[in-house]
Chains A and B, each alone.
Chain A
Amino acid sequence: GAGVSQSPSNKVTEKGKDVELRCDPISGHTALYWYRQSLGQGLEFLIYFQGNSAPDKSGLPSDRFSAERTGGSVSTLTIQRTQQEDSAVYLCASSPVNRRAFFGQGTRLTVV
């Protein structure tokens, strides 16, 4: 593909509902990252994958957040029982072995 693709671009959900955010990385990229971007908070590290495994989940804000990656490719970030403070732009990036990250356009999540 042309680059990292994220879907949906925008998601409005009601408080308490579960949401799934999808990331399609660049083919062949071994590392995949999830970040949360909110005003004044910069890029908050959530989790990264090396292949299908997640060596570092320390950035996940709570146990309502989970992520998986399958086939060394597509990743989904799931937020259960969404809260208003979860509203943010969720960015995905992928990288080959040189750790140069290529970012997607992001998913803007709004919890109402």
Chain B
Amino acid sequence: AQRVTQPEKLLSVFKGAPVELKCNYSYSGSPELFWYVQYSRQRLQLLLRHISRESIKGFTADLNKGETSFHLKKPFAQEEDSAMYYCALGGIYNTDKLIFGTGTRLQVFP
């Protein structure tokens, strides 16, 4: 069965430190990977998707099919990055099904 694993429930760093939020997936087909973010009292929203190969708010993520990973990285964390981050897997057998990991809470201290 398809699965998304985010091993860290909480990640705490100081402002300016590098950040890496881990995501591993289980899927035998060609995956579509996403990172979604939920800031305090806001709706869950898309941060970035692997097919776009973009950098949003300084965050990047590279799909590694060999390691079945899609880790989210930022070289210098900011306090405003504090939020809940969810990794998601879509395009399952070319359907619209979209499944999420359990999420990682990022806390950035001043």
Contacts and interface: CB of A to CB of B under 8 A. Distances in A.
B96 interface: yes
Given A95-B96, A104-B43, A41 B91 contact: no
Interface stretch (B12-20, B53-61, B70-78, B98-106): B98-106
B68 to A, nearest CB: 18
30 contacts: A3-B43, A31-B96, A33-B98, A40-B9, A40-B102, A42-B86, A42-B103, A43-B44, A43-B86, A43-B100, A43-B101, A43-B102, A43-B103, A45-B97, A48-B98, A50-B96, A55-B95, A55-B97, A93-B44, A95-B98, A99-B98, A100-B34, A100-B49, A101-B46, A101-B88, A102-B45, A103-B43, A103-B45, A104-B43, A105-B43
Given A48-B96, A56-B97, A99-B91, 17 more contacts: A30-B96, A40-B9, A42-B86, A43-B100, A43-B101, A48-B97, A50-B96, A56-B95, A95-B96, A99-B32, A100-B34, A100-B49, A101-B36, A101-B98, A102-B45, A103-B44, A103-B45
